[in-house]
Amino acid sequence: MEERPITKAVSVAPLEDADVKILIEEADRILVFAKSRQITKPDDAKMATDDLSVISGIKKRMESSRKDYLGPVNAIKDEMSQVFKDIMAPVLEADSITRSKLVAYNMELRRIQAEEEDINLKRLEAAEAEMKLKGEITESVNLVPVNEAPKRVSTNMGTASMRDNWKYEVTDFALLPDAYKVPDTTMLTSVAQKHHDQKPIPGVRFYNEPGLSVRARG
């Protein structure tokens, strides 16, 4: 007997979930305490630590509830995304191949047009030089026909046109203006966490900005 895939029912109304409602009430209540709290003595600090432990527990339960709701949805989403990715693969490849061939054709037309225009420019410059030298042009200037590359191709089904897509390549980082030298934040963060301020780097200040670590018991 063929096994049928297991389908898990997922509620789409978490705010109607009794457990979620409890979490919301706890979160609202702890927020009221946090806004009115003043820490001026050791006992206040102890109570704040207790509340932070409670908050940590609420956060964990909320995260667990979130995963319970989104887990099945994400699994289905990932599966469907892969299915349609596979389905679209031939179309995307055909699109890429056709685009590259059409771009190559258009670029060749542009190249030919540029060469024809360059030939005519040189012939006109030669004629102008002869006129300055001799006061006359001894031979007629035979300009080659310029076949202008079309800016777009239009059919009953659509239009394809070339558009500029400027990019960049850094050829000499040392010559790059300072405004364009972006720091490697990932590397600098790693150095700060590993070496603190014991590994100087010119132009960089490593400093400590203490935070609070809370561990709930139990």
- pLDDT, mean of each 10-residue run, the chain (218 residues): 49 82 93 93 93 92 91 89 94 94 93 95 91 85 90 90 87 90 93 94 93 83
What the block records as the tokens of 207 is 């400093």
CA nearest neighbour of 183 among 175, 193, 173, 169 = 173
Q: Report residue 38 CA to chain centroid gap.
A: 43
Angle at 15 between CA 18 and CA 28, to 5 degrees: 85
The pLDDT assigned to 160 comes to: 92
The pLDDT assigned to 135 comes to: 84
The Cα–Cα gap between 102 and 53 comes to 63
Global pTM reads 0.61
The pLDDT assigned to 8 comes to: 43
The pLDDT assigned to 6 comes to: 46
The pLDDT assigned to 12 comes to: 67
The Cα–Cα gap between 98 and 150 comes to 18
The Cα–Cα gap between 67 and 10 comes to 12
The pLDDT assigned to 7 comes to: 47
The pLDDT assigned to 2 comes to: 52
The Cα–Cα gap between 192 and 184 comes to 12
